Amino acid sequence: MQESKETPISSHLDEIVAAISITPRKKIQNKLPQTALFQPPREKLHLCEEKAKSYSSSHEYKQAVHELVRCIALTRICYGDSHWKLAEAHINLAQGYLQLKGLSLQAKQHAEKAKEILTSSIVPPYDDNTDVFRCSIELFHTMGRALLSLQKFKEASENLSKAERLAKELLQCGRIIKEEWIEIQARIKLSSAQIYQSQKKPKEALPHYQEALEYIEISRGEKSLECVPILRELAGVEQALGLHDASINHFLQAHLIVLSRSPSQEEAAVSAHFVAHAGIASGRTEHHDVAEQYFQESMANLKDAEGTGKARFLSIQDDYCRFLQVTGQKERATSILRESLEAKVAMFGDLSPEVAETYRLLGGADLAQGNHSGAHKKLKKLSWRKMMVACSKTVARGWSKVVGESRDVDKDVEAPAHGSSEEKMKSILARMLALDRGLSLPSRSDGKACLLPACSPFLSTFSAGPCMETPPGFQQRGATQKRRVGNLSPKAVQDFLRFPNFPSSQFICGLKQCWLNPME
């Protein structure tokens, strides 16, 4: 819910130009029929609105945003710059941006634009302005959600209060029917609950979640899928307040709704995992049977899955092993973890956090059983993997400073679904080596420097070279080329990486030696 960083507000001119342009961005072999090219703007607008709704319902939010941008351009053509319909189009686009993580600033910008348009749209006589007032309710609610994502809680609450007050006045005046008011109340109460929850005030959030659920059940029915996210958030609040029986019941209610709609195996597994996790969180022995039952159900749904489903299965399996350790079934947990190690290496890579966590759990199990040599070996492997993750983050930050790219460090650390984190580390080092030697970097079609598989041969020909200064703990065996440096401990490598006065070539040299001398 909270977003610590927001992406800069991008210019939408290119998108709007593309929206009304006849020339497509990419060459399409099958040309559109003449009737599609010469459709009236209002027909095109209706078509774009239907496409946006379709994309949103199938959770394809990026495509939905593209259609909503086109809707703004076409609405301006059809209705002009001061019509409330244009404000509605901006509000719809703002809601689309809120579905995409990191775009709350854009949502706020479009909500403010809609407010400017509506201000000029409300003119006497006010009897004809019902549509404008309805649009104003959506505006205040959308602005509140955008401000909530930006963690501006006071302003968000003020906007939601305005929306609630205006909806009540329209109901009293007979401008909207009670069913419409109930739907509006459900959305406002849910957003109000999320404001309190974001401020870590579960006690204040609880009644708002309960009201939101009540309104949704009245308007959509008790078995509606729209109840599921509210039930889960409500259960999370009850869990934080220690109301574990109510929490488990609400997770179970959500799970039964999901199962009644013929879900995919992954959706059913995730839903069962929520119930199992709630059973663990209570800490009560009477809930252990519930946790065991739904862990087994969750893993059974994903046992033969591939790709992201397999990754989720391994994650749920780790949670199950922790549950087994808590309930005293340590031998069974250890056996499952050992069997899963090979699959995790294949899925996440040998230096991934998932593999490191497995070594930690196995090392702890060996230690508890008195197998000190086995525990020492596994914890050494854990130490090496953690150090390599730290090295990867250091490389990513260094690359960002040298090249000026804005890079997500976590993306450099995480292994691809079907790749090896070792290859990613080699590729990053190759880029830095090429830059240090003055080589030009191959570029992608978007103009950014791409990874350098072509520079991989350089990894075998690093020059150790004479060091200007030697950091503590780092011992070099000479200055000859193509040399391996042995006996590097994680502490020595960390000292090396923290040493500030090394030129980039020596920095790369040190990382090369880290790579060649892992701890076994």
* CA-closest candidate to residue 281, choices 237, 329, 315: 237
State the angle between helix axes of 202-220 and 227-240 in degrees (0 to 180), rounded to the nearest 10: 160
**Residue 63 in this model has a pLDDT that exceeds 90:** yes
**What is the phi-psi region of residue 440: left when phi exceeds 0, alpha when psi lies from -120 to 50, beta otherwise?**
beta
Alpha-carbon torsion (176, 179, 182, 184), positive or negative: negative
- Please list the residues that pair with 449 across neighbouring strands: 443
Confidence of residue 509 (pLDDT cuts 50, 70, 90): low
Contact 263, 255 (CB under 8 A): no
* CA-closest candidate to residue 323, choices 360, 289, 297: 289
For 231-258, what is each residue's pLDDT tens digit?
999 999 999 999 999 999 999 999 999 9
Higher pLDDT, 1 or 485: 1
* CA-closest candidate to residue 497, choices 398, 415, 424, 356: 398
- Please list the residues that pair with 443 across neighbouring strands: 449
pLDDT score recorded for residue 339: 84
Lowest mean pLDDT segment, chosen from 16-30, 75-89, 160-174, 265-279:
16-30
* CA-closest candidate to residue 258, choices 266, 319, 53, 60: 266
Question: What percentage of the chain exceeds 70 in pLDDT?
Answer: 61
Contact 452, 441 (CB under 8 A): yes
CA 258/CA 489 separation, integer angstroms? 51
**Residue 178 in this model has a pLDDT that exceeds 90:** yes
For 365-393, what is each residue's pLDDT tens digit?
666 666 655 555 555 555 555 555 555 55
What are the start-end ranges of the H helices in 437-501? 490-498
* CA-closest candidate to residue 110, choices 161, 75, 78: 75
Q: What b/e sequence results for 22-36 when a residue is b if at least 16 CB atoms lie within 10 Å of its CB, and e otherwise?
A: eeeeeeeeeeeeeee
CA distances from 230 to 190, 199, 206, 212, 478 (A): 8, 18, 11, 8, 65
Q: What b/e sequence results for 169-195 when a residue is b if at least 16 CB atoms lie within 10 Å of its CB, and e otherwise?
A: ebbeeebbeeebbbbbbbbbbbbbbbb
Higher pLDDT, 314 or 216: 216
**Residue 479 in this model has a pLDDT that exceeds 80:** no
What are the helix and strand counts (H, E) for the chain? Answer: 22, 0
For 298-331, what is each residue's pLDDT tens digit?
999 888 777 777 888 888 988 898 898 888 888 8
Higher pLDDT, 13 or 40: 40
CA angle 366, 369, 372 (to 5 degrees): 55
Of 169-183, 324-338, 467-481, 483-497, which one has max mean pLDDT?
169-183
CA 298/CA 275 separation, integer angstroms? 10
C-beta atoms surrounding 295 within 10 Å: 24
**Residue 164 in this model has a pLDDT that exceeds 50:** yes
What are the structural domains of the chain?
A: 1-176 (1.25.40.10)
CA 439/CA 99 separation, integer angstroms? 42
Higher pLDDT, 171 or 401: 171
Half-sphere exposure of 197 (CA within 13 A, CB side): 25
Residue 381 is inside which H or E element, if any? helix 372-403
* CA-closest candidate to residue 103, choices 11, 9, 12, 198: 9
